[in-house]
Every structure is written in structure tokens, then in C-alpha cells.
Structure 1
Amino acid sequence: MYDLDTRKRALALIAQGFSQNSVSKQTGISRAAIRSWQTRLEPLGRNRAAPCPRCEGLPGEPEDPVAYAYLLGLYLGDGCISSGKRGVYFLRIACADSWPGLVDACAEAMQRVRPGNKVFRVQRQGCQNVTCYSKHWPCLFPQHGPGKKHDRTISLEAWQQRIVRAHPWEFIRGLIHSDGCRTTNWTTKLIGGERKRYEYPRYFFTNVSADILGLFTDALDLVGVHWKQANRQNVSVARRASVALMDAHVGPKY
């Protein structure tokens, strides 16, 4: 753990025009640490090992179920959990640079689910990996396992089902923000001898996992949204009333 003065000295060198690699060689501090300090300067407090509601003697549910429902949708779409050193895991959710509002919403939800842990963003080509370290991510996301999600069974535990039933729109929003989109389709009709163009919005959700597609459509059923299976990997919402519901509660990425 580096103190605040050490962090400030390293960032001062960066401000003078030195590269992260150069500062790392001068100070012996890893480039990863320097990069993370550019996002958050202050060291984490001692509450970083905040208790996990799933690890208590009588397991409970996350204190912020709304944030959890949204984060669960994001995780099932574009998230992964990897193991690190000393039994620590990191949750990483890839968010495209095209949607800065989504990146902020993801980071906020992650912080609300684990308020005692640091959330940081790692820039990659065309996207940011919103990441947080915790020993408890496998407790909070028991869908974690070896290999790709579509190669294993994905189902919600009873406590997760209760959260999704209570907050289905947040879960749907997380899934759409990860593997979905709102698009505008068009078609033409011949009216009075004149061909006219008509445009209409629709939502798509795409995922290789049949189980995750099923969780999405189950949630749509809960809120009364009509959907169609466009093909093996795509679910479409196109009816006007259902699109209006999606617009009111989800909306396009931003």
C-alpha cells in the first residue's frame, strides 16, 4: 500500500510528461498502480473488507436490490469474474466507449453493491472495463464458473429470483445495456400508387446462451412485454405498446 505522498509524486511526474513506463522504472511502482491512481488518488479505507450478505450466518440479500438487479443483467451479458491473488476475485464488465452514460451507470451500480470496495475503469481499445476487486463476487454471482456462460447452465438462485421479480425492469435494463439495443427499422408500402417509407422502433437482445435468453424473456413476461424469438440467438420486441413500455423503463443506450 503506497501512501498519498508517494502517489502524488508519481502523478506529478506523469503531469510533467513522463510516460507510465518511465515513471515505473524511476520509482519502482507498477504501471498498473500508476494507471489506477489516475482514476482514484486516495488510498482505500479500512472498510474494504465489508461483510458480504451471502456469507453471514443467516445469508441475506444485497442491501441495494435495485442496483444488484441492474448489475446482474450487465454481468450476464458482458461480465466475467476472474480469480486473483489471496482469494480475491475481480468482476469486470466491458462497456463500449460509445455509451459513456452506460459506463457511469455500471460503475455506480457496482459501487452500490460493494460500497466498501474500489471501482475503477481500465481503458481498452473501443471500450472500458469497469472493474472491482472483492472476495465475495462468487457469493453474489453464483453463476460464476469455468468456461464461457453459454457452455454451462445459467440459472438464478431463489434469492436472485426474488430480486428479479421485485425489480424486473432494472434486470431487463441491465441485459439490454449489455447485449441489447434499440434500433429503427423501416419498410415500404404502396398506397394510392405511391410507395411510402415507414419507420418503426424495436428492441433486440442477443445472447448465445439459451438460458440467458430465457431469463430475459421470463422478465419480459413479468412486465407484460410481448416478444418474439427472431432466431436462435435473438429476441425481438416490436409491438408498439411493448416498445412504448421499454422506452418508458429502459430506453436507448446513452
Structure 2
Amino acid sequence: MNFHGTDMRQKALTLLRDGAKNADVARKLNVPAGTISYWKHMDRAKRGECPGKHDPSCPRCHGRELEEPAYSYLLGLYLGDGHISHYSGHRVPNLMITCAESWPGLMDDCERAMRAVFPDNSVCRVRKTGCRNVKVYSKHLHCLFPQHGLGKKHNRAIALEAWQQEIVDAHPWEFIRGLIHSDGCRITNWTTRLVGGLRKRYEYPRYLFANKSDDIRKLFTDTLDKVGVEWTTLARGSDPFNISVARKASVALMDDHVGPKY
């Protein structure tokens, strides 16, 4: 994958602001047309311009009320198993969340959240081997998910904007639930102990969250801290990708607000 620096982006924006077409700029600078479209959209959004006259209203561009609990949950899903793509066959980018077939309830929750956040847009499910992609199309995806960018999430900085952090602070459990539903799970561990000379088996539940992005893991653990959940980092080899919640009181809190996938 090619990464384009700030100078290249500025050259493209200068040409676009002068009235050049996206395709002409893409050919001139040898940059993918989708990247040019994304740069143009973000530039127009920063300047307060609307991306389209007939596009449904956007909470960021037009001030439409945003369903914040649903958005906090959807943001967690997006940071885990979601991405925004713009295929050449479609005029509008789509947000896609990949859900395993074994968790039909998760797919239902994801679809409900998408419909609540994008009430004027259609939502669909696309069947794949062992999973389904829950998708919504909107020209305003980049407005609501500014973390989108070139490359994989763990190879670039991920930070919430101030308005997103306010929503997560107001609805932390929905955000945690979205992250667990994407890159986490609830499992039952077991161990044995000698009691009165006899070895007995003990089982205990635990929540695990795994993500390669240091920034996303920190967003998760910072939110756990705010709701009073104790956590530890489990290193797999030298990679500290796993966050564990195993203390009884913290697991009980997670069970009350998150629960296992279903």
C-alpha cells in the first residue's frame, strides 16, 4: 500500500479547489481516485461545505440530533471489526462491520445501531463464508468516523475527537460493549487446587479484549477505569495485545452491562 504525505495531499487540494475533477487529479498525481475523493470530502467538511444537496442530513454537517448511545456502541464496533470503503462501483462509501455467523444477536444489535445512527440510510447484510458484513452507505461516514484513513488501524494514530470523547464519557458502557462485541469475548477459565489433600477444580469467568493498536487498547482501558473495572495486560510472547478483566467484582460489572456474545 502506498502512503501519501502532506505535500502530495496539499497539491491535490490546490488542484481540486481550482476546479479540477477528481479523476484528472488522480491521474496527474498518480494517486488512487478513492483517496482523492476522501481528501476532497474531508477538506470540504472542514470548511463547512455540504457534500451533496440530496444526501440525508448529517449530525456533524447539518446539526441533526445524533442517537448517542447507539453511536457509542457503533464506534466501538467500528474500531474493532469495522472499516470504511469506497468501491469503484458505488458513488457512496460504506461502513462495514464483520460479524461471525455464530453471533446472530450481535448482528441484530449492529444493524439496530446503524439504523439509529443513520435513520435515513439503508442497511444491509452481505453473506460471506462463516460471517456476514453488516453495511450502511452514507456520504457522511467520514464526518462521523474521522478515524478513517490510509492503512491498518494499528499502523497509524487513533484518537477520538472532543465531541466523540464527550459521547463516550456520557455512554461508556455502550462503547465498552461495542469493543467487546468486536474484538473481545467472555470465557470461563479453570484451575486446580489442593484442598485437604484432594485436588479440586475451580472455574471462573473472564473478559478478554485483543487489539494490535496501542491507541485502541488505551481507549478501552481508559473507559474501563472510568466505570470502575479493574484490568490487567496479558502479553502473548512479547506482544501486550490482550486486556484481561478477571476480578470477581469487575466481571460482575461487565456481566451487568455487557454480557457474553449471543
TM-score normalised by the chain length of structure 2: 0.76
How is 1:70-109 mapped onto 2 (pairs within 5 angstroms)? 70-84=73-87, 88-109=92-113
Per the TM alignment, residue 84 of structure 1 is displaced from its structure 2 partner at its CA by 3.8
How is 1:79-158 mapped onto 2 (pairs within 5 angstroms)? 79-84=82-87, 88-158=92-162
Aligned residues: 205
Give 3-state SS (helix, strand or coil) of 1:248's partner: helix
Q: Deviations over 1:130-177 (max 9, x none)?
A: 001100001000000011000100000000000000000000000000
Listed as ranges, the gaps of 5+ residues in structure 1 are 1-46
Distance 1:48 1:244, change over 3 A: farther
Provide the residue aligned with 1:17 in structure 2. Answer: none
The answer to whether the Cα contact below 8 Å between 1:62 and 1:113 also exists between their aligned partners in 2 is no
Q: What is the aligned-residue RMSD (CA, Å)?
A: 1.5
Distance 1:220 1:119, change over 3 A: same
Distance 1:48 1:177, change over 3 A: farther
Q: Establish whether residue 197 from structure 1 lines up as the match of residue 180 from structure 2.
A: no
How is 1:232-251 mapped onto 2 (pairs within 5 angstroms)? 232-251=240-259
* Counterpart-to-counterpart distance in 1, 2:123 and 2:211: 26
Provide the residue aligned with 1:253 in structure 2. Answer: 261
Per the TM alignment, residue 53 of structure 1 is displaced from its structure 2 partner at its CA by 1.3
* Counterpart-to-counterpart distance in 2, 1:194 and 1:207: 40
* Counterpart-to-counterpart distance in 1, 2:74 and 2:125: 16
Provide the residue aligned with 1:226 in structure 2. Answer: 230
Match of 2:217 among 213, 220, 228: 213
TM-score normalised by the chain length of structure 1: 0.78
Provide the residue aligned with 1:67 in structure 2. Answer: 70
Provide the residue aligned with 1:54 in structure 2. Answer: 60
The answer to whether the Cα contact below 8 Å between 1:49 and 1:116 also exists between their aligned partners in 2 is no
Q: Deviations over 1:18-60 (max 9, x none)?
A: xxxxxxxxxxxxxxxxxxxxxxxxxxxxx9821111113xxx5
* The 10-residue stretch of structure 1 (145-154 or 83-92) with the greater mean CA deviation from structure 2: 83-92
Listed as ranges, the gaps of 5+ residues in structure 2 are 1-52
The answer to whether the Cα contact below 8 Å between 1:61 and 1:159 also exists between their aligned partners in 2 is no
* Counterpart-to-counterpart distance in 1, 2:54 and 2:206: 42
Give 3-state SS (helix, strand or coil) of 1:49's partner: coil
Amino acid at match of 1:220: L
Structure 1 stretches of at least 4 aligned residues deviating more than 3 Å after TM superposition? 84-87
- Over the matched positions of the two proteins, sequence identity in percent amounts to 66
